[in-house]
Amino acid sequence: MKDRFAAILIRKDGDKQIAEDVQLSLSDLMEGDVVVRVSHSTVNYKDGLALTGRAPIARKFPMIPGIDLAGIVETSANPEFKPGDAVILNGYGLSETHYGGYAEYARVKGEWLVPLPPAFCAHDAMAIGTAGYTAMLCVLALEDAGLTPDKGPVAVTGAAGGVGSVAIAILARLGYTVIASTGRAEEEPYLKSLGAAEIIPRTELSGEPRMLGKERWAGAVDSVGSRTLANLIASAKYGGAVAACGLAGGMDLPTSVAPFILRGVWLLGIDSVQCPMPRRLEAWQRLATDLDMKKLQSMTHTIKLSGVREAAGDILAGRVRGRLVVEIP
C-alpha cells in the first residue's frame, strides 16, 4: 500500500469551485471499515456536474469526486469482505458527502459494496457504471409495471448517452422494439447498431408539452426530464409506464393529471444512489445476462485519470457517446 497516492480533489475558493490533481495519504480519507485499491472509475453526467460545479453535487469540501469505483479490497474490518475481494460501488453519496472514485484508494462502508459479478472484470463493471446500472433499474421497474415486448415499443431519450445506450442494448436483447430519441442525427448508425429500430429527433419531444398526445409507446426510459418527460407521458399508451431517472433538461415537469387518470399511465421514479442492496444485486445479476458484452464494448471509451476534467466538460456539452471508463494509475 502506497504512502502517498494520486487523486482529484475539488475545493471551494470563495464562490468558485476548483478541481486539482493532488497527492493524499490514507489518513486523509474519510471513515469506513473497508479500504479499496481503486483500479477503475467512470465519467457520468453527474460527475460532469460535480467536477465543473454546474450543479451543487458536492455538499462537503474538499471532496474527491467520482460516483463509481471498482477495485480490490486492501484491508477490511467488515466480516463480509476480505483482502483480495473484487468489489464495485455505485452511489451511496460518493462525490456528494463521501470521497469518491477519482483516487487510487477509497475508504468506504462495507455495506455499500457489491461483490464484482463473475461475468465482469473491473473495466466491464465500470463500462456499465452508474449509467448502465440505472438503465437496468429502469428496465426492472418497467417490468414490474407489467411491460412486455408484445405491448408495444419503448422510447429511450438521451439515446446516445450512457443511460440511453445501455437501455437500448438491454431492451433490444429482451425483444422490445426501441424508439431512440437523440439530438445528434449523426449517431443514427451507432444507435441502430445497439438495437434501436427507429430514431426520432429530440425536437419531437422537447417542444411545448401536450396534455394528451397520440398513443405511441407502451413504455419509456427518460434521462432528460422537463418537457421531454411530459411529452413522453402524454404519448404513452393506455396502461403504459415511463421510468424517469435524469434531469439533463431540467427539474420541472409541465404536465397534467390527464394521462394518469384517462390512460392509467405509470410514472416510475428511479433512484440509483440509495437503492436498497437487494435491488442492486438483482440489477447486477440481470446485467450479467441481459447486456450484450460486445455492444457494451462498442459503446465504451477508456481514458486516464488525467483526462477526467476535460471529459467532464465534454459530457455536459453532449460530446460523449456511450460510456467513459477511467483507468486509475
By C-alpha distance, which of 272, 284, 329, 325 is closest to 120? 284
Q: Rounded mean pLDDT of 185-191?
A: 96
Q: Is the pLDDT of residue 3 over 90?
A: no
Asked if the peptide bond before residue 62 counts as cis, ω within 30 degrees of 0, the response is yes
C-alpha–C-alpha distance, residues 45 and 259, integer Å: 29
Write the Ramachandran bin of 93: left for phi over 0, alpha for psi from -120 to 50, otherwise beta.
left
Q: 32 and 97 share a domain?
A: yes
Residues of the chain with pLDDT > 90: what percent?
95
Which pLDDT value is given to residue 36?
Answer: 98
User: Which of these three, 269, 288, 307, is where a domain ends?
Assistant: 269
Phi/psi at 4 (5° precision): -130, 145
- Same domain? 139 vs 26: no
Residues 77 and 147 reside in one and the same domain? no
Residue 306 identity (one-letter amino acid): S
Residue 228 is assigned to a structural domain of this protein: yes
Q: Is the pTM of this model over 0.75?
A: yes
In a shared domain, residues 265 and 308: no
Q: What residues are paired with 219 via a beta bridge?
A: 154, 241
Does any domain span residue 220? Answer: yes
| Residue 292 lies inside a defined structural domain of this protein | no
Contact 92, 274 (CB under 8 A): yes
**Residue 171: is its pLDDT beyond 90?**
yes
Residue 184 lies in a domain: yes
Q: What is the helix (H) or strand (E) element at residue 289, kind and residue range?
A: helix 277-290
Mean pLDDT of the region 198-211? 96
Task: Please tell me whether residue 213 adopts helix, strand or coil conformation.
Answer: coil
Flag whether 143 is in a domain.
yes
Tell whether the model's pLDDT for residue 2 goes beyond 90.
no
Residues 26 and 55 in one domain: yes
Report the mean per-residue pLDDT for the chain.
96
pLDDT score, position 196 = 98
- Does residue 53 sit in the same domain as residue 30? yes
Number of domains forming the structure of the chain: 2
Residues 99 and 149 in one domain: no
With beta carbons less than 8 A apart as the criterion, state whether 17 and 28 touch. no
CA 33 to chain centre: 26
Residues 224 and 306 in one domain: no
| SS3 state at 16 | strand
The total number of residues written for the chain in this structure: 329
What's the rounded mean pLDDT across residues 29-34?
98
Q: Residue 124: inside a domain, yes or no?
A: no
pLDDT tens across 268-317, in order? 999 999 999 999 999 999 999 999 999 999 999 999 999 999 999 999 99
In angstroms, rounded to a whole number, what is the distance separating the alpha carbons of residues 291 and 293? 6
- 74-128: pLDDT as tens digits: 999 999 999 999 999 999 999 999 999 999 999 999 999 999 999 999 999 999 9
Distance CA 20, CA 192 (A): 39
* Model confidence pLDDT, tens digit, residues 226-281: 999 999 999 999 999 999 999 999 999 999 999 999 999 999 999 999 999 999 99
Q: In terms of domains, do 203 and 320 share one?
A: no
In order of 4, 111, 138, the CA distances from 104 in angstroms are 9, 20, 31
Mark whether 184 and 303 lie in a shared domain: no
Q: Is 266 helix (H, G, I), strand (E, B) or coil?
A: strand
Do 162 and 223 have their domain in common?
yes
Among 269, 291, 318, the domain boundary falls at 269
* pLDDT at site 107: 98
The CATH number of the domain holding residue 13 is: 3.90.180.10
Q: Give the per-residue pLDDT at 257.
A: 97
Take residue 281 and report the three cell numbers written for it. 444485486
The string of DSSP codes covering 251-282 is: S-----SHHHHHS--EEEE--SSS--HHHHHH
| 150, pLDDT greater than 90 | yes
Task: Count Cβ atoms below 10 Å from residue 274 Cβ, excluding itself.
Answer: 8
Residue 40 shares a structural domain with residue 142: no
The string of DSSP codes covering 140-202 is HHHHHTT--GGG--EEESSTTSHHHHHHHHHHHHTT--EEEEES-GGGHHHHHHHT-SEEEET
Higher pLDDT, 251 or 2: 251
Which pLDDT belongs to residue 1?
79
At residue 59, the pLDDT reads 92
Residue 171 belongs to what domain range?
A: 130-269
Position 94 scores a pLDDT of: 97
**Per-residue confidence (pLDDT) for residue 239, from 0 to 100:** 98
Res. 19: pLDDT tops 90? yes
Among residues of the chain, what percentage have pLDDT more than 70? 100
Residue finishing a domain among 269, 291, 316:
269
Residue 18 in any domain: the answer is: yes
Answer yes or no: is pLDDT of 55 > 90.
no
Q: How far is Cα 245 from Cα 269, in angstroms, rounded to an integer?
A: 6
Residues in contact with 189: Cβ distance below 8 Å, sequence separation at least 6, in sequence order? none
Evaluate whether residue 294 is within a structural domain.
no
The CATH number of the domain holding residue 254 is 3.40.50.720
**Residue 130 clears pLDDT 90, i.e. is over it:** yes
Predicted confidence at residue 14, as pLDDT, reads 84
86, β-bridge pairs: 72
